[in-house]
Structure 1
Amino acid sequence: MTILDRKTPPQFNGVENITLIHPQTTKLDNGCNLFTFNSGGQDLVRIEWIFGNLRFNPAKPLLNVAVNTLLTEGTSTLTAAQIADKIDFYGAFLQVDYGYDNSQVTLYTLTKHLQSTLPVIKDILTDSIFPEKELETYVRNQQQKLQVSLQKNDVVARRTFNKAIFGPTIYGSAASPEDFVSLKREDLQAHYKEMYQPGNCTIIIAGKADEAIVDAVSGMFKGEWGQATITADTTQPMLSPPMDKFIYVEKADALQSAIRIGMPFVNRTHPDFPALQVLNTVLGGYFGSRLMANIREDKGYTYGIGSGMTSFKQVGSFFIASEVGADVCKSAVSEIEKEVNLLKDQLIPDEELSLVRNFMLGSLLGSLENVLSHADKFKNLYFAGLDYDYYDRYTQTVKNITAEELKALANKYFNFDDFYKVIVGKY
């Protein structure tokens, strides 16, 4: 019997390289792109139908999200309850998801039930009718949810911040109760016919996606869907953020104030993006970050604070977000500014940078636990127009970037006076 030596820690090995699964690619004759990640193994498959959102119309700002949400609320032959019952009967799971750039329908199912569940998806994507009763219920529920959400300072801060940095675009639009009232069934139907067509669709299959599964999906979704007669316009208007960079939404009885600070930023396609992710992680991107150490652990102003970077098709953003005691809001903002400026003035110590490197590479490796995760990484690349060498550059940047290079990046990008600052509560 081997006795463990508990006085000697296990050997530590750094992450040398990341190996990603590449998909098999097929283009259907109707223009739909199909990507397959076949893991073998368990008889489970995830299929995603992903559609580019149509060009944002400020006069009808909720069409993309409303159409996506109401896809499963009825077709010519199935009610919402019947759709749910058919999926549940086979132990499958169906969900619809809306994002700023794309909307999608996702099916999780056992492979042996695919022939029974796939026709339900085909019906949804080709024959949704948006029943008036379901639309009325959606409008009523969303208005109630919005009224509750607008009582939360962090929600108001996020909405206000996005509107400030992205302006009247799909990225900056914040729904009002009146926007829900203006939704009309005929507008949803027209939007649906233009958007949910094969030329605007990407199908991604992951799991036990053998030849029979691929043939079943491609056979079901080949040919034209409905009567699509126009090309889906997925372009988006250019950003034009306002000049006002300090926005204060006062709430006299607030016990806490929500803080949101940041700016429009580079997205994943920019060569500096991986290096800036390292800088962001040092500042506020993990639990051991500088913002957490200062404002939570040292000052006790908040339960949590962090910074992040988002990447969209057109643009990205950098933000710092927290909720702090209303009486220490100004002090918290001052400490945030101090931490940002320290990155510009002082080199990050080797020990801290090493910790961040290991955290980031470990997080990337840990996020690749199964074939579905590999498919998700592929989506990040594909919809940004990038190749797999992006992750090679990412890992090399994380492993090799120097403190001097990070300081130079902080001076290039982090001018606190240029940051948009949103405070909701007391200041």
Structure 2
Amino acid sequence: MIDRTRAPAFGQVEQIELIKAKPIVLDNGLKVFTVDGGDQDLIRIEFIFENIVYDASKPLQSYAANTMLNDGTKELSASEIADRIDYYGAFLQTDFSNDQSIVTLYSLNKHLPATLPVVKSIISDSIFPQVELDTFIRNQKQKLSVNLEKNDFLSRKIFNSVLFNNSLYGYDTRAEDYDRLTRIQLQEYFSQAYKPANCTVVVAGKVTDEALSLVDRLFGKNWQGGSSVTPNIFNFYTGSGKEHYIEKADALQSAIRLGNVAINRSHTDFPGMQVLNTILGGYFGSRLMANIREDKGYTYGIGSALVSMKNAGYFFIASEVGADVCTPALDEIHKEIEILKTETVSEQELDLVRNYMLGSMLGGLENAMSHADKFKNIYFSGLGYEYYQNYIQTVRTISALELQALANKYLDWNGMEKVVVGKKN
């Protein structure tokens, strides 16, 4: 009989094998990376463009251009684009981040000759129809109006603004910013950013010779224009640890977000800080969850994260707590940070976190597309696959004393920006 009063023994993950991306350079200089794996007739092709020429007087220019790419080209209307993709059971999406604008196609290989030319059309011939721009502006303003009533949205908006003021990373979007958008702005940005010199293609899934030949024909031989570009570069200051309080007298919950500008993935301390963050608030068994949710009952959830971007990284803790326990919750967060700085983590807790982190990484590598995601993390950070070897080695071997030193180096409560939206009792 199984003794269910005893937890099963666990073994530590020793090694994780990654499918490495293979590089190809097409005739026009376009960089293509392939991650081939799996038997299913499915392929994902991502066109990744660096965000460039940020202009504070036109803060939504790059975001709007990316979002509206599939709203009409010289030959296809928005509905025709959607119908052609849907007819073949494919999926087309655009994504925008602080550093990149991405167009992604998921398709069966056998339908790629019909679906991939649609992508070619939107990244080379988008025209941003005025009627679609008017709809975009109206919808975005309504969405912003609704979101501004949400405490967690407001706290995140204010936090990013005070952390990364006067840059794309932290711009405080207002309704009037949408009103200033014009077709000319979008066409201007499109002509500067959406060209081979500013694009990286990542192909993942069942990568066939026929698929690569089609990519080469459409995007290597028949996509020209544009000189090299200079990606956005931002510089940031170290925070002064101010408190930013937005009162909402009728709030039942208060949104808390606090943190500071920190290191990104290119820094040698980043893997160790990921371990430290996991202990503090990076998974369901973290100290913040155990204290503020399980013990005190102040919240349904609380977490922390270390975020890596191209020009910076940042650390944050976020939660929504009962309005009447906001100040006690902040005190408990402070206490947990100070404990990490003054006391070493037990080996039992550290072993649990090691296994959680390595198991999560291994479990996340379920197909070629997840391996491609790992590649993108390092490639766009200017790193090689040795990063993951170092990451695994750090997780497996970092000591409690090293974690304590990292806590004292990077977790400065007095230097953290602290945002509360709601009531602070």
Q: What is the TM-score normalised by the length of structure 2? A: 0.97
Match for residue 345 of structure 2?
348
Residues 167 and 240 in structure 1, CA contact (< 8 A), matched pair in contact too:
no
Residues 50 and 100 in structure 2, CA contact (< 8 A), matched pair in contact too:
yes
Instruction: Give yes or no for the alignment of 1:281 onto 2:278.
Output: yes
Residues 157 and 260 in structure 1, CA contact (< 8 A), matched pair in contact too:
yes
Pairwise CA distance, 1:384 = 0.4
Match for residue 407 of structure 1?
404
Q: Give the number of equivalent residue pairs.
A: 422
Instruction: Give yes or no for the alignment of 1:385 onto 2:382.
Output: yes
| Equivalent residue for 1:300, pick from 297, 300, 312 | 297
Change beyond 3 A, Cα 1:411–1:241: closer
| Equivalent residue for 1:80, pick from 78, 81, 95 | 78
The percentage of counterpart residues that share the same residue type is: 53
Instruction: Give yes or no for the alignment of 1:320 onto 2:317.
Output: yes
Change beyond 3 A, Cα 1:40–1:294: closer
Describe the superposition over 1:110-163 as per-residue Cα deviations: whole angstroms up to 9, x where unpaired.
101111111111111110000000000000000000000000001000010011
Distance in structure 2 (CA, Å) of the matches to 1:241 and 1:177: 29
Match for residue 26 of structure 2?
28
Residues 55 and 237 in structure 1, CA contact (< 8 A), matched pair in contact too:
no
SS in 2 for 1:337: helix
Residues 256 and 325 in structure 1, CA contact (< 8 A), matched pair in contact too:
yes
Change beyond 3 A, Cα 1:96–1:399: same
Pairwise CA distance, 1:227 = 4.6
Give 1:366-381 correspondences, 5 Å limit: 366-381=363-378
Q: Which amino acid aligns with 1:189?
A: Q
Give 1:120-131 correspondences, 5 Å limit: 120-131=118-129
Distance in structure 2 (CA, Å) of the matches to 1:402 and 1:243: 31
Residues 241 and 416 in structure 2, CA contact (< 8 A), matched pair in contact too:
no
Pairwise CA distance, 1:55 = 2.9
Distance in structure 2 (CA, Å) of the matches to 1:388 and 1:336: 35
Q: Which amino acid aligns with 2:200?
A: T
Match for residue 6 of structure 1?
2
Pairwise CA distance, 1:40 = 4.7
Give 1:15-414 correspondences, 5 Å limit: 15-223=13-221, 225=223, 227-228=225-226, 230-240=227-237, 243=240, 245-414=242-411
SS in 2 for 1:238: coil
Describe the superposition over 1:335-391 as per-residue Cα deviations: whole angstroms up to 9, x where unpaired.
000000000111111111111001000000011011110000000000000000000
Distance in structure 2 (CA, Å) of the matches to 1:126 and 1:240: 38
Residues 47 and 206 in structure 1, CA contact (< 8 A), matched pair in contact too:
yes
Residues 74 and 83 in structure 1, CA contact (< 8 A), matched pair in contact too:
yes
Of the structure 1 ranges 240-249 and 204-213, higher mean CA displacement relative to structure 2 is found in 240-249
Distance in structure 1 (CA, Å) of the matches to 2:288 and 2:252: 21
Question: Cα RMSD between the aligned structures?
Answer: 1.4
Pairwise CA distance, 1:233 = 2.9
SS in 2 for 1:171: helix
Describe the superposition over 1:292-331 as per-residue Cα deviations: whole angstroms up to 9, x where unpaired.
0000011110000000010000100000000011111110
Q: Which amino acid aligns with 2:303?
A: G
Pairwise CA distance, 1:286 = 0.4
SS in 2 for 1:29: coil
Distance in structure 2 (CA, Å) of the matches to 1:354 and 1:145: 44
Q: Which amino acid aligns with 2:213?
A: D
SS in 1 for 2:200: strand
5+ residue gaps, structure 1, are none
Q: Which amino acid aligns with 2:10?
A: F
Q: What is the TM-score normalised by the length of structure 1? A: 0.96
Distance in structure 2 (CA, Å) of the matches to 1:291 and 1:353: 15
Match for residue 414 of structure 2?
417
Distance in structure 1 (CA, Å) of the matches to 2:239 and 2:130: 38
Describe the superposition over 1:64-90 as per-residue Cα deviations: whole angstroms up to 9, x where unpaired.
110000000001110000000000111
Pairwise CA distance, 1:271 = 0.2
Q: Which amino acid aligns with 1:331?
A: P
Residues 122 and 220 in structure 1, CA contact (< 8 A), matched pair in contact too:
yes
Distance in structure 1 (CA, Å) of the matches to 2:419 and 2:9: 46
SS in 1 for 2:300: coil
Distance in structure 1 (CA, Å) of the matches to 2:3 and 2:325: 45
Q: Which amino acid aligns with 1:178?
A: E
Residues 255 and 320 in structure 2, CA contact (< 8 A), matched pair in contact too:
yes
Q: Which amino acid aligns with 1:149?
A: N
Q: Which amino acid aligns with 2:12?
A: G
Residues 258 and 322 in structure 1, CA contact (< 8 A), matched pair in contact too:
yes
SS in 2 for 1:19: coil
SS in 2 for 1:22: coil
Change beyond 3 A, Cα 1:270–1:14: same
Distance in structure 1 (CA, Å) of the matches to 2:43 and 2:123: 19
Pairwise CA distance, 1:412 = 1.1
SS in 2 for 1:322: strand
Distance in structure 1 (CA, Å) of the matches to 2:3 and 2:333: 41
